[in-house]
Amino acid sequence: MTQSIDFVFDFCSPNAFLAHKVLPQLAERDGAQLNYMPVLLSTVFKATNNQSPFQAFSENRQKTAYLTHDLHRFARRRGLSFHMSPHFPINTKFAMRGAIFASGKSWETKYIDAVFDAIWVHGQKVDELSVLMDILQEHGLPARKLREAMTGADVKQRLKEQSKAAVKRGVFGVPTMFAGAEMFFGKNSLGNLELELAQSVE
């Protein structure tokens, strides 16, 4: 039986971006299927009385300096391109609705790659719908259909419902990964996720 990894993410998180860059190779090594689970982090935070570490520790310069250093170190040691977005924090409601619409489609991973890279490699301001449309067109994605979905009530509701379902599952932030019933939070838990996958096939 093929194992699966559910990857709960929001484009607004630099840690989710870095986990996203590592997970496909991790899944391939362990013969697992990677499932993308888009959520709106603001909805998750509101439901769990949580906030981003950069907000929570905004007055602790040592802590925020370490968090930034850890992001760059993680990327550097894995040969990943990464830059803190000049627009951080980012409103990703349109981009995340697009991810909901992309779910299960042949171009789903292409969409996710394009948006993540636009924010965390190229520093583009994806909370502006016109900028986001330009990015999608550049990557040969169905920008017109995506725009309709991003501004429609149906996809908006689906994103809200998926975010609430994630909270019921125990999610309080991103990136969160599930291997079966086991939950792993944060990019630095990827090692434990891989151990879980390896042990489950022994």
Domains of the chain: 3-200 (3.40.30.10)
pLDDT in tens, 139-155: 999 999 999 999 999 99
13, burial (CB in 10 Å: exposed 0-12, middle 13-18, buried 19+): buried
Instruction: State the pTM of this model.
Output: 0.96
Say which residue the tokens 């489609």 belong to: 105
pLDDT in tens, 76-131: 999 999 999 999 999 999 999 999 999 999 999 999 999 999 999 999 999 999 99
